[in-house]
Amino acid sequence: MYLSKLILNPMDRMVWRDRGDCCQMHRTIMRAFPEKQGGESPRAAYDVLYRLEIHEKKGVVILYVQSAIEPDWSHLISTGYLKKCDRMDNPAVKEIARPLGEITEGMILRFRLLANPTKKIVTATKEEREVGIKKNGKRVALLRMEEQVDWLRRKAEISGFQLLDVSTGNGVPDVTTSGIITEAGYKQADKEKNKEKYDRLFFRGVVFDGRLCVKDKDRFLHTVRKGIGSGKAYGFGLLSLAPA
């Protein structure tokens, strides 16, 4: 697995475009990876996850990209998309399979996660349910902090880790949330039937920072590789880790 850190040029026109359209950002990132045959999604096949961090006061825009194969960022290096950095590599790409492999059960880690906490609500009418008609429920965002943390706690239980408490036994998770982050974009509805039609996508996300304890190493590493929650193609789900 590989982790890329790209410091973007905040004055570049294409950076502004991608910041305002998560679908365009997805396309820019996926040009660093080869196409897949047979209609398989390259993003899913190569486990591509990313997170965009914007530090307004410092004027810094950082893009983190995690992937199962090494990306080729040559299409960005000569375009002005990346900021010129004299003291560090930009982009910087490192192989992370070894440090991930050193994770053990019981290990405590700090984490950051930009996620899209949602729940599904029933959209079928009572009459439709009575005759067995099922509909895919409407996905709605969870906006209250308590709901968001509960959502993450449930994800942790099935993902091989546990959120740690602020102090032993008080039951309050050592997790902070940073506001509501909105992402929007336009996705082509059907490339074959109507090339001119686009669907508008809209996401509400939240940044979680906190501590976790690894309970099941295999399930945890699978979660790190595949991401958490929905909207993974559009900047959500990347679980970043650091020593506690």
Delimit the domains of the chain by residue range. Answer: 2-95, 104-243
Rounded Cα distance, 225 and 2, in Å: 10
Using a 10 angstrom Cβ sphere, with 0-12 exposed, 13-18 middle and 19 or more buried, the burial of residue 168 is exposed
Residue carrying the six token digits 């995690």 = 66
Instruction: Convert the pLDDT of each residue in 87-131 to its tens digit.
Output: 889 999 999 999 999 999 999 999 999 999 998 775 555 565 555
58 SS3 class: coil
Residues 118, 119, 125, 127, CA torsion sign? positive
Strand-pair partners of 94: 3
Q: What are phi and psi of 145, to 5 degrees?
A: -60, -40
CB atoms within 10 A of CB 71: 21
Considering the segment(s) 2-95 as one domain, its CATH architecture is 2-Layer Sandwich (3.30)
Residues 4, 9, 12, 15, CA torsion sign? positive
Considering the segment(s) 104-243 as one domain, its CATH architecture is 2-Layer Sandwich (3.30)
2-95 and 104-243: identical CATH topology: yes
What's the pLDDT score for residue 141? 84
CB atoms within 10 A of CB 102: 8
Overall average pLDDT of the 226-241 stretch: 96
Q: Which residue has the higher pLDDT, 195 or 152?
A: 152
What's the pLDDT score for residue 77? 84
